[in-house]
A and B are shown apart, each in its own frame.
Chain A
Amino acid sequence: MAETALTHPAEAPGRLPGWRGIAADWASDQRAFKNVSWGKAMMWIFLLSDTFIFSCFLLSYMTARMSTTVPWPNPSEVFALNFAGKQIPLILIAIMTFILISSSGTMAMAVNFGYRRDRVRTSALMLVTAAFGATFVGMQAFEWTKLIIEGVRPWGNPWGAAQFGASFFMITGFHGTHVTIGVIFLIAIARKVLRGDFDVERRGFFTSRKGYYEIVEIMGLYWHFVDLVWVFIFALFYLW
């Protein structure tokens, strides 16, 4: 484990190593999360709860797939695309994966430039991230359309186990919703960064609290989480 980063150098006291440090941080009427603002801690806790929601979806998919006696449709063939007369397995999903990973890369760099107070680069990188996200959602809409035309429904499909459609629409639909919300969130924060809200600590419209560049990192946590969930969906739903 690397050395703890100093978010608020003045407040962060020295850390005891290992379990003693954890016990000391959580004990004796203290703030448990010392060098992390409430906004960041709350985002992490929200993401933890979201982890459980996605886990439940993936678990119910696993249970349906393991307990059915009807063969499960082969995702490698279902999601194949025809390019120049050749069937290439899962190609659309692979491209979507690379797009989402790229958006995570640009987001990480946006956070970095945010803490350097480089307004133009931060907002530009956030808008690139949003564009990648919108592309991802567009490709997902294409994929849904293709499958619906081929006759996949939540209650059945032409290739095998009836639960395939329900699992697919539920899991990818919920993930796509997260990406869409993330794109809106990104555009809103990018606008604030570009306008210089965080340089003058302008108060927020809803919260009336001062804005800081840390919101870019908190936004980044959400976005990376969306990418993280896709890693699991890609492995467990599409590749399994």
Chain B
Amino acid sequence: MTNAAVHMEGQLHAPAHGAVATGAVHAKGQQHPIKLYLVVWGWLFVLSTCSYLVDYFGLHGYLRWSLILLFMVLKAGLIVAVFMHMAWERLALAYAILAPPIAVLVFVTIMVLESEYTHFLRELFFATPS
């Protein structure tokens, strides 16, 4: 493990020395080619068009739900990973930010069960008999 750490350190420092050597002393921080952003931008357009077409063609049922959620998750992942540079941050930060929203999913589960129960009671007692 110690060897691995030393090796990692060597790798991490190598680009910095390279930058100094080429004279680009000020170029620190998140540096990625512009092309990467343009590609992600293009994909976000494609995915948005796809999710719009789901509505345009009036798909329904589980197909609609799964497609909408799929496109939503893909878009969110691209924005967080590339535009917000999360893919290049240390795991200590990435997990600290990305893990807590799992609690929201637990909350979603609770509220789905709760609102189904409320709906059941309303059907039972308040809805006009059809």
Contacts and interface: CB of A to CB of B under 8 A. Distances in A.
Interface string A105-118: 10111011001110
B119 A235 contact: no
Contacts of A36: 89-90, 93
What is the size category of the interface that chain B forms with chain A? Answer: 35 or more
A119 to B, nearest CB: 13
Contact of B92 (A6, A8, A21): A21
Interface stretch (A96-104, A131-139, A146-154, A202-210): A96-104
A86 interface: no
A17 B19 CA distance: 25
B30 A217 contact: yes
A5 B29 contact: yes
Nearest to B29: A115
Main secondary structure of the interface of A (DSSP, over half): helix
A189 to B, nearest CB: 15
B111 A62 contact: yes
Given A62-B111, A69-B119, A22 B92 contact: yes
Contacts of B62: none
What is the size category of the interface that chain A forms with chain B? Answer: 35 or more
Contact of A5 (B56, B76, B82, B85): B85
A90 B55 CA distance: 8
Contacts, number: 214
B55 to A, nearest CB: 5
A228 to B, nearest CB: 5
A98 B45 contact: yes
A108 B35 CA distance: 11
A25 to B, nearest CB: 4
B5 A14 contact: yes
A235 B95 contact: no
Contacts of A7: 28-30
A214 B29 contact: yes
A20 B1 contact: yes
Given A6-B15, A67-B119, A102 B92 contact: no
B8 A15 contact: yes
B8 A101 contact: no
A25 B12 CA distance: 16
Interface of A: 1-10, 12-18, 20-22, 25-26, 32-36, 41, 44-45, 47-48, 51-52, 55, 59, 62-64, 66-69, 76, 89-90, 94, 97-98, 101-102, 104-105, 107-109, 111-112, 115-117, 213-214, 217, 220-221, 224-225, 227-228, 231-232, 234-236, 238-240
